[in-house]
Structure 1
Amino acid sequence: MVDELISQTRRLRGGIDAVRRVTAGSHGPEDPLGRWQRALCDLAAHQLDDLGARLGQLRDGPPLPVAPDHVPAPRPAPGAGRGGSAEWNLLTDEVTWSDELFRLFGRSPRDGALTLDELPSCLVEEDRELLAALVTDCLVDGKPIDGEFRLVHPDGPRTVHMRGEPVLDDDGCTAAMWAVLRDVTELHRGRDAVIASGDSLHHHRRLARAEQQLAAGLQEAVLPPWQGPLRVPRDAGPADTALDVAGHYLPAADGAAVGGNWFDALPLPDGMTLLGAGGLTGRGVAAASTMAVLLGAVRGMAMTGTEPGPLLGCLNQLLDTSAQPALGSAVCCRYDPRTRTLAWAQAGHPAPLLFRGGTARPLPRPDGVLLGAITDARYEQAEERLLPGDVLLLHTDACVGSSLLQGLAARFTTARSAQECVRSVLEAWNRQPRQDDACVLVARIGS
């Protein structure tokens, strides 16, 4: 039965090693979750090693008494399953230590075993009173010993766990005391490592949650405040030239921190309408704050009448000189309701999708590199004449595939509003794998 327990322990030990290898491959050395998982694996492995050593002692039986001239086997590495037994005979003053106990104390059998009076001298000073109290309770009151103390050792301080009981004579008086002492230094270190790495993980997650809340609040503050569809321009021009606009922000499927994605629709003083979408590299507060600066610049320049191409050139300079360098993509459009003309430019971003007559196609892209990639980059501008009933779709990632486009085209044809179109996009996106957050903006021509 003991052999079977030893075999099970070895199998578990091999399983722990396998788990450690998987954990090491899943998380980097500085990842708080990875450090906590590795600390738990190390602690479990140490406990299994200790259990295996104890079961081996149980199988092999009690050790033989150590002769004074006995030369012990080479010492194992510090903390590698050290443990031993001792008996102190109070009637004859004879002390018997196992070979393992000499190794635990870093002593040679030639030096002899320590008496109960000598034993505290091997402890760190702060723990001597504790051991004296444990021994006194055992000898005088007959209480079992169960306690820990720190041992002065040539390899450095060791923590030792001691369990013992009094041996009574026929009259019920204490005649001897026996004890089993075990080195639990590595066990304590493993537990401390688990606690420390767990505290670090909790701290890291608290900071991550706080940063995520801050980034989400910043994003909510700067993205368009309207929740439903936005009809722009109001009471300007024929009904078949008006824009019905709706947009939506979609968080990442894994609940990760918000990124620097944005969308916007803004009526301009000259009667035109700004439509835009974009995204920045990175996540969290840094990405959200840079996005806020970028979106503010987009709105400010659009209000002054800046055309999409030059506007993207200014955004490129802004990112290039930013204190927090980043790369970004963007598409910027100006819609003129008087002529139903869309002037637009892009910076490394997917082209707007035009849905017309039950079909879908991306607009031909003018040249434009990522924002922040090249100093003094120039952005070409293109124009597209729109028709009543057209639907324009701007989005911040390329998860809209060709098969998905055709399904959306059919639904957009029967949709009665831009909001219905957005709902169709969200339903389609929710069925697609998505590792990042996203934005969608739909503009429908004509009321």
Structure 2
Amino acid sequence: MPSPRSADHPAVSPPQRDTVDALISQTQRLRGGLDAVRRDTVADLSGTDDAQLRWQRAVYELAVHQLDDLGRHLDQLREGLAADPPETDAETAAEAAAAVTAAVTAECAADGRGSSPSRVGSAEWNLLTDEVTWSDELCRIFGRHPGDGGLTLDELPSWVFSEDQPILTAMVTDCLVDGKPIDGEFRVVCVDGAVRTVHMAGEPVLDSDGSTAAMWAVLRDVSELRRGERAVRESRDTLRHQRRIARTERRLAVEVQEAVLPPWRGSLRLPARDGFPGAEPPDDGAALDLAAHYLPSESSARIGGDWYDALELPDGRTLLSVGGLTGHGVTATCGMAMLLGAVRGMAVAGIEPGPLMGRLNQLLAVSSQPALVGAVCGQYDPDTRTLLWAQAGHPAPLLFRDGTGRPLRSPEGVLLGATTGAAYAQAEERLEPGDLLVLHTGRLARDAEGATERLLALAPRLTAAHGAQECVRTVAEAFGDEPRANDACVLIARVTAARA
């Protein structure tokens, strides 16, 4: 009988791979080739010694187990890489993928001592002579010195976890009594206290009268593989939990955003002067035709704190504002709601844009959620057709007139929340009938300067458009497919022409 010690061998080194898909294909080809060789070889060995046939078959079965485990984990890795988790889950998703990779590596990669976490050994128990033969590698798996020899079938259960002893007993009984092959796993406690999971596969050795004369098996240390599987399950559960949280937060952020941003769709004409008792009818020659649009980021999970707003004030002026907070999610949208409410409240109270910005900065200084905010705030007076405005670290409004456009000259003003006690200057611009103002949050493109240049290049189309809503559609067409890392807003106000 060939020595079962020939089972001692390290796992092969992992092949070079460019992609997980290529490695999966290679594994499938190996699996198919193994099945074909196994059929041919077993047929060729039909007339040879039974022990040699048994050993050849055992080696094939072991290889099948290795390839099936590897294929299963590669599928899990591909599934994890194919998922598109929200950005808030990226770290957790990476941990899950790393756990699968670690399991595959532990199954395949040999260490520098010629053994690997998936070590393989062999054993034979002769029932006629009570002789026990263990390979050196199997002794090492159990933490035993090869000179101490192997464990008998009576001694082996005492090394096995009590919960797994029935599994071992059933496998041995089926093999010795019913002549069935062995295939199962159990955990053992080694001499050094280490716990290892062992996969055992084998079959009975029959004598001439058909009775069981011996039992032999190939045992594989799959501890690292099983630990990797547990890590995968735990990481997957964590990832699912994080995704549920992210979906909930995104829904809340969207609801806050929809509740706070102006509800009007299409164009709006201000001042309407129908919301304030005693207000005079509007001068049609000085009213603003308004339209706005919200452009989401390329990642649906990155709901930010950008806003646009237009509001008729009690004295007949029109408030125009756009801005954006740093950050994303519920925190950013709730911060945006607070600031937008403060802007509206102070504007209704008659505070001009420059002092208004200063008070917003004070509000952020005492906020429990620090943030940096860029904003533009303007108040348009329809009687004088003048725009009084201030900015805080934000792109200036663009003025389009007679087919050309230019940014307004910006007054001094740093980002809100950047420093305490900051002062904000304000500027005044006189408008003419037909003038077009474009206020945007600077995130239409990946850089604010690029967005400004592209908007100015639209001057012929914007000045020729019939109304603010058509202008918004033009901007949306130009920037709608832009791969933005953040959301963006654009607000367009057109001074209506005087009636003849």
Same fold (TM over 0.5): yes
What is the distance in 2 between the residues matched to 1:252 and 1:399? 18
**1:32-431, aligned counterparts within 5 Å?**
32-49=92-109, 80-153=117-190, 154-234=192-272, 236-397=281-442, 398=448, 401=451, 403-431=453-481
User: What is the deviation of 1:399?
Assistant: 6.0
Provide the secondary structure at the position in 1 that maps to 2:94. helix
Q: Deviations over 1:413-438 (max 9, x none)?
A: 21111000011111111254421100
What is the distance in 2 between the residues matched to 1:376 and 1:94? 90
Say yes or no: does 1:435 pair with 2:485: yes
Tell whether the 8 Å contact from 2:398 to 2:405 is kept in structure 1 after alignment: yes
**TM-score with structure 2 setting the length:** 0.78
Q: Deviations over 1:150-181 (max 9, x none)?
A: 11111511111111111111221111111011
User: What is the deviation of 1:188?
Assistant: 0.3
User: What is the deviation of 1:137?
Assistant: 1.2
Tell whether the 8 Å contact from 2:11 to 2:118 is kept in structure 1 after alignment: no
What is the distance in 2 between the residues matched to 1:357 and 1:132? 93
Deviates more, 1:250-259 or 1:106-115: 106-115
Two-structure CA RMSD over aligned residues (Å): 2.7
Say yes or no: does 1:11 pair with 2:15: yes
Provide the secondary structure at the position in 2 that maps to 1:126. coil
Deviates more, 1:416-425 or 1:121-130: 121-130
Give the aligned residue type for 2:92.
P
User: What is the deviation of 1:9?
Assistant: 5.3
What is the distance in 1 between the residues matched to 2:366 and 2:166? 67
**TM-score with structure 1 setting the length:** 0.87
User: What is the deviation of 1:130?
Assistant: 2.1
Provide the secondary structure at the position in 2 that maps to 1:193. helix
What is the distance in 2 between the residues matched to 1:444 and 1:422? 11
Provide the secondary structure at the position in 2 that maps to 1:240. coil
Deviates more, 1:37-46 or 1:7-16: 7-16
Q: Deviations over 1:120-161 (max 9, x none)?
A: 111122222321121011111111111111111115111111
Give the aligned residue type for 1:210.
T
1:440/1:400 CA distance change after superposition, 3 Å: farther
User: What is the deviation of 1:220?
Assistant: 0.7
1:14/1:184 CA distance change after superposition, 3 Å: farther
Tell whether the 8 Å contact from 2:295 to 2:480 is kept in structure 1 after alignment: no
What is the distance in 2 between the residues matched to 1:295 and 1:338? 26
User: What is the deviation of 1:49?
Assistant: 2.9
User: What is the deviation of 1:258?
Assistant: 0.8
User: What is the deviation of 1:113?
Assistant: 1.9
User: What is the deviation of 1:402?
Assistant: 5.5
User: What is the deviation of 1:403?
Assistant: 4.7
Tell whether the 8 Å contact from 2:462 to 2:471 is kept in structure 1 after alignment: yes
Corresponding residue for residue 64 of structure 1: none
What is the distance in 1 between the residues matched to 2:138 and 2:113? 11
Provide the secondary structure at the position in 1 that maps to 2:285. helix
Identity of aligned residues (%): 59
Provide the secondary structure at the position in 1 that maps to 2:172. helix
Provide the secondary structure at the position in 1 that maps to 2:321. strand
Give the aligned residue type for 1:105.
F
What is the distance in 1 between the residues matched to 2:207 and 2:415? 90
Provide the secondary structure at the position in 2 that maps to 1:239. coil
Provide the secondary structure at the position in 1 that maps to 2:458. helix
What is the distance in 2 between the residues matched to 1:377 and 1:333? 19
What is the distance in 1 between the residues matched to 2:496 and 2:450? 25
1:28/1:414 CA distance change after superposition, 3 Å: closer
Tell whether the 8 Å contact from 2:198 to 2:219 is kept in structure 1 after alignment: yes
Provide the secondary structure at the position in 1 that maps to 2:170. helix
Corresponding residue for residue 494 of structure 2: 444
User: What is the deviation of 1:183?
Assistant: 0.6
What is the distance in 2 between the residues matched to 1:28 and 1:441? 30
Tell whether the 8 Å contact from 1:237 to 1:338 is kept in structure 2 after alignment: no
What is the distance in 2 between the residues matched to 1:273 and 1:393? 15
User: What is the deviation of 1:373?
Assistant: 1.1
Give the aligned residue type for 2:271.
P
Give the aligned residue type for 1:439.
C
What is the distance in 1 between the residues matched to 2:461 and 2:430? 22
What is the distance in 2 between the residues matched to 1:427 and 1:291? 26
Give the aligned residue type for 1:36.
A
Give the aligned residue type for 1:33.
A
Tell whether the 8 Å contact from 2:128 to 2:214 is kept in structure 1 after alignment: yes
Corresponding residue for residue 68 of structure 1: none
Provide the secondary structure at the position in 2 that maps to 1:330. strand
What is the distance in 2 between the residues matched to 1:112 and 1:150? 20
Gaps of 5+ in 2: 1-9, 24-73, 82-86, 274-280, 443-447
